[in-house]
Amino acid sequence: VEHITPESLAQRGGDRKHSSFVEDDSVPQKFRALLKDYYRSGFDRGHQVPAADCKWSQKSMDDTFYLTNMCPQVGEGFNRDYWAHFEDFCRRLTVKYPSVRIVTGPLYLPQKEADGKWYIKHEMIGNPPSVAVPTHFYKVIFAEDGRTDGNVALGAFVLPNARIANSKPIADFEVPLEAVERASGLEFAAKLPPQRRRRLCTDTTCALVIREFADKQKAFPKA
């Protein structure tokens, strides 16, 4: 869960060039994701809370590099491309909305096989295999108009953990909030009255600005 504002994004106290991926010692070792789990796995260590959203101090930046903030993500075409553009879209929402809250997480969704039955199937990485590779990722976005008891533009999106063409409209991945709640087992807006809710992609334009992130980030740790 993260909360971004125009003021928080304007600060420049942290630099990802000084950050390193680290294991989270607060997690018992038998449950802990390890750096070696990702080695030659074919997947990036994909930030859930983006490093670029936490530049107000070096510590806040460093905290985003704990492996507890990571999931295995497809690199080219997703983490380094479409997903990065989606994260940028969330930041650009602060141009219109003074307060934006974002919940991001993994999903493991069923797929219908040839026998007509539904199965949840996903890869595992590590040796022994202990880190599950999500089939999908979600973002639930709350864009607030800044007024006490004001309107909240709400958007829920589910993206496959796979290469996605940059030409694909982000609105194609919009889903009902209830779909994410059922799939994740979490409730996101139980205390937000229906009369305060607005649909994000109606209240504003849901479109990505495509930038070439890959070349800029080659010198930095893969996110």
Q: Is the pLDDT of residue 215 over 60?
A: no
- CA separation for the pair 136, 209 (Å, rounded): 22
> Where would I find the beta strands (DSSP E) of 31-148?
44-47, 70-73, 99-107, 111-112, 118-119, 124-125, 131-132, 136-144
> What are the pLDDT digits (tens) for 24-83?
999 999 999 999 999 999 999 999 999 999 999 999 999 999 999 999 999 999 999 999
- CA separation for the pair 74, 142 (Å, rounded): 26
Task: Single out the catalytic residue among 18, 47, 85, 122.
Answer: 47
Q: What is the pLDDT of residue 211?
A: 75
Distances (CA, A) of 114 to 111, 117, 119: 10, 7, 11
For the annotated binding site for Mg(2+), the residues are: 79
Q: Mention every residue, 6+ apart, whose C-beta is less than 8 A from residue 190.
A: none
What is the homologous superfamily of the domain 2-216 according to CATH?
A: Extracellular Endonuclease, subunit A (3.40.570.10)
pLDDT > 70: what percent of the chain?
A: 95
3-state secondary structure (DSSP) of residue 163: coil
Residue reference for tokens 């996110």? 223
Q: What is the pLDDT of residue 112?
A: 97
pTM, 2 dp: 0.93
Q: Say whether 47 is catalytic.
A: yes
Domain spans, the chain: 2-216
- CA separation for the pair 90, 156 (Å, rounded): 12
Residues pairing with 72 in the sheet? 45
